[in-house]
Structure 1
Amino acid sequence: MRRILCLGSTGFLGAHVAGQLRALPGVRVLGGGRSTPISPSALLSASSPALVDSLPIDLTTISVDALAEALRALAPHAVVNCVGSVGNSPLRLAEVNTRGPAVLCEALRRAAPTARLVHLGSAGEYGATAPGRSIDESAPTRPPGAYGATKLAGTLIVAQSALDATVLRVFNPIGPGSPAASLPGRLVAELRRALPDGTEGLIRVGDLSAYRDYVDVRDVARAAVLAAVAPEPLPRILNIAGGGATPVRAIADGLVAASGFLGRVEESGPGSHRSAAVSWQRADISAAAAALGWRPHFTLAQSLADLWNEGAPVAVLPSAPAVPAGVPTGVPAAS
């Protein structure tokens, strides 16, 4: 049975990744989180192959020796690292986004050097680009702030390691479970608070004129699953995005449409420094298509409707493609 450890399995991205991994036959999914009482030996003795267990791993504090010991006991065939921090202090960003991948890479080198490592990076590593240009993986990286800089450092640690590793540079994930700290999550909360029936009122937001490349979180998870089980080595960095530039205003418009809100969304609130520093992003996703057979499936309208309704399952897509020999069947479909 193939054992795959998903770190950050209770977060926005990680929960979807763990959900799709759990749907694969012949795969034992192990979840890693900051607080759990289960030991590596208990995980190995559990009888249900479909069980998603939880291993106590905090990459910001665990030592390399302790993590190597856990990995040695688990002997994972692959590790998907979904751990990341967006809006904390520079110190916390460095601990999560840079130290975490460094400790993980060193522990894997010592204890499970043949395991596939899939690390989730960020479009924030690229920084500003010229309007109209699509960013491929060879584009210069010029992050404008601590978040992008710490994510870039983590990416370089993984990409330059001797491990069988790939970094999925995720652009702007959206969809069911979007966190309250994100613009979509905040807008949903504001729309629900506008009035009990959510049909009128005024909602103030910051400038929505920037362009972003949005990708559904379920499509991100599918890319991570495909990368984790791919039989051949992968490119060191792959863009995972929708492949289009969408005005941020479309997020507000789409949620208003999904909710039936009849009031106004006014761009008179405090703006985002990131939006001011990076006014345009659009990814070239051809490398992911070539390496993984992956393309985004969900439309922005679907993502927003499912976010508003919060009824979409964290699961595989309805159809499945043919997969390479040696890869477990049941991998969610690439469209």
Structure 2
Amino acid sequence: MTGRALVVGTGLLGRHVRDRLTSAGWDVVVAGRRSDVATPSLTEAIRVARPSVVVNAAGEIWRPEPDRLAAANVELAGLVVRAVAEAGVGARLVHLGSSLEYAPQPPPTALTEDSPAAPRSAYGRSKLAGTELVRRLAARHGVEAVVLRLFNVIGAGMSPVSVLGRTVNRLVAAHRTGTTAHLELTDLAQYRDYVDARDAADAVLSAGTARQIAPGLFNIGSGVTRTAEELVRALAEVSGVPYRLELRPPATAGARSADGDWQRADTRRAYTVLGWSARRKLPETLLGIWQAAESHPFPGHPAQEASTP
């Protein structure tokens, strides 16, 4: 099945979703991520494009000021639902949520869609508020909506503010100057579930085309947990660049992320209902990140919005 899709957001997720839909033969229209865009403007864009699927891939994570989080992760999410409803073209909405909407759980617990949604971080609270608003407005206005709770999405073009984005930039710079890359990382034993951005984009395609999407909320992750140190070392090894990794102690003794030390996705619902599962293994993901960065004319990418940490 192919058709036309309108993608809201031009950051890491938006670009990968656009590329995946295009490669699948879809006609893709891209709308910017500005959270101050008026509802009538987006409504008119949807009316003109007449998409069968609208994807909300916009959001804010790297600038955590409360007003930015509220505008990008809550208000914009509501705006998109209203625009889809007012356009009246019968488009399905795919909204990208976050695993950080869940309450922290102890290892080796795998988070299901029925796990408690009680985030501790400001980012997680804003994403949960956005998800709840999308589902509430969609039910009220008769919009067919599906929410994908993405775990830690990694892939080519990550923000330099992220751990892997910063790491790959330093590796590229060292590679081009023939020096040893000095990598730094805060020494926190936090385990996270990392999923390839291309697999996340595959999930969007599956959600947009599936005949059945009830109950409309799905975890999208790899089902494997790793530490940031594992990823940084693995990326450095893939690059072949000599490196030295400095593990720095946390700024505060015993400090831990507000989101907890452990996260792992249970994705059985996505597989059963959408027919989706993560296909790419970590070496393939890291090789793709390195090759994309190495071929970029200058190290680094502009900071982008992202729906996941």
Say yes or no: TM over 0.5: yes
Point out the more displaced range, 250-259 or 194-203.
194-203
**Contact residue 203 and residue 265 of structure 1 kept, 8 A:** yes
Q: Please state whether the residue corresponding to 1:267 is helix, strand or coil.
A: strand
**How far apart, CA to CA, are the structure 1 residues paired with 2:294 and 2:277?**
20
Q: Please state whether the residue corresponding to 1:287 is helix, strand or coil.
A: helix
Q: After superposition, what is the alpha-carbon deviation per residue over 1:160-207, rounded to whole angstroms, capped at 9, x for unaligned? A: 322210111000111222221211101111223447555535322112
**Contact residue 186 and residue 247 of structure 2 kept, 8 A:** yes
Q: After superposition, what is the alpha-carbon deviation per residue over 1:57-92, rounded to whole angstroms, capped at 9, x for unaligned? A: x3x112223332332232221101100110221101
> Identity across aligned pairs (percent)?
38
Match of 1:247 in 2: 227
Following TM superposition, by how much is the alpha carbon of 1:107 offset from its aligned partner in structure 2, in angstroms? 1.8
Counterpart check, 1:297 vs 2:294: no
Point out the more displaced range, 170-179 or 194-203.
194-203
Q: Alpha carbons of 1:198 and 1:69: their partners in 2 closer, same or farther (altered >3 Å)?
A: same
Q: Alpha carbons of 1:196 and 1:236: their partners in 2 closer, same or farther (altered >3 Å)?
A: same
Match of 2:302 in 1: none
Question: Where does 1:36-185 land on structure 2 (aligned, <5 Å)?
Answer: 58=34, 60-88=35-63, 89-112=65-88, 114-160=90-136, 161-162=138-139, 163-185=143-165
**How far apart, CA to CA, are the structure 2 residues paired with 1:177 and 1:198?**
23
**How far apart, CA to CA, are the structure 1 residues paired with 2:202 and 2:184?**
34
**Contact residue 16 and residue 217 of structure 1 kept, 8 A:** yes
Q: After superposition, what is the alpha-carbon deviation per residue over 1:126-172, rounded to whole angstroms, capped at 9, x for unaligned? A: 14111110000010112112111111111111223222101110001
Match of 1:230 in 2: 210
Following TM superposition, by how much is the alpha carbon of 1:255 offset from its aligned partner in structure 2, in angstroms? 1.2
Q: After superposition, what is the alpha-carbon deviation per residue over 1:96-153, rounded to whole angstroms, capped at 9, x for unaligned? A: 0000011111122222362100011011111411111000001011211211111111
Match of 2:19 in 1: 19
Instruction: Let me know the Cα RMSD of the aligned residues.
Output: 2.3
Q: Please state whether the residue corresponding to 2:132 is helix, strand or coil.
A: helix
Match of 2:243 among 251, 263, 288: 263
Runs (4+) of structure 1 moved beyond 4 Å? 194-199, 269-274
**Contact residue 172 and residue 293 of structure 2 kept, 8 A:** no
Structure 2 letter corresponding to 1:292: L
**Contact residue 12 and residue 178 of structure 1 kept, 8 A:** yes
Match of 1:30 in 2: 29
Structure 2 letter corresponding to 1:280: W
**Contact residue 223 and residue 294 of structure 1 kept, 8 A:** yes
Q: Alpha carbons of 1:67 and 1:159: their partners in 2 closer, same or farther (altered >3 Å)?
A: same
Structure 2 letter corresponding to 1:216: D
Match of 1:53 in 2: none
**Contact residue 194 and residue 203 of structure 1 kept, 8 A:** no
Q: Which has the higher contact order (CA 8 A, sep 6+)?
A: 2
* TM-score of the superposed pair, with normalisation by structure 2: 0.86
Judging by fraction of residues, say which structure has more helix.
Answer: 2
Point out the more displaced range, 60-69 or 117-126.
60-69
**Contact residue 93 and residue 147 of structure 1 kept, 8 A:** yes
Q: Please state whether the residue corresponding to 1:202 is helix, strand or coil.
A: strand
Match of 1:4 in 2: 5
Counterpart check, 1:219 vs 2:199: yes
**Contact residue 121 and residue 258 of structure 2 kept, 8 A:** no
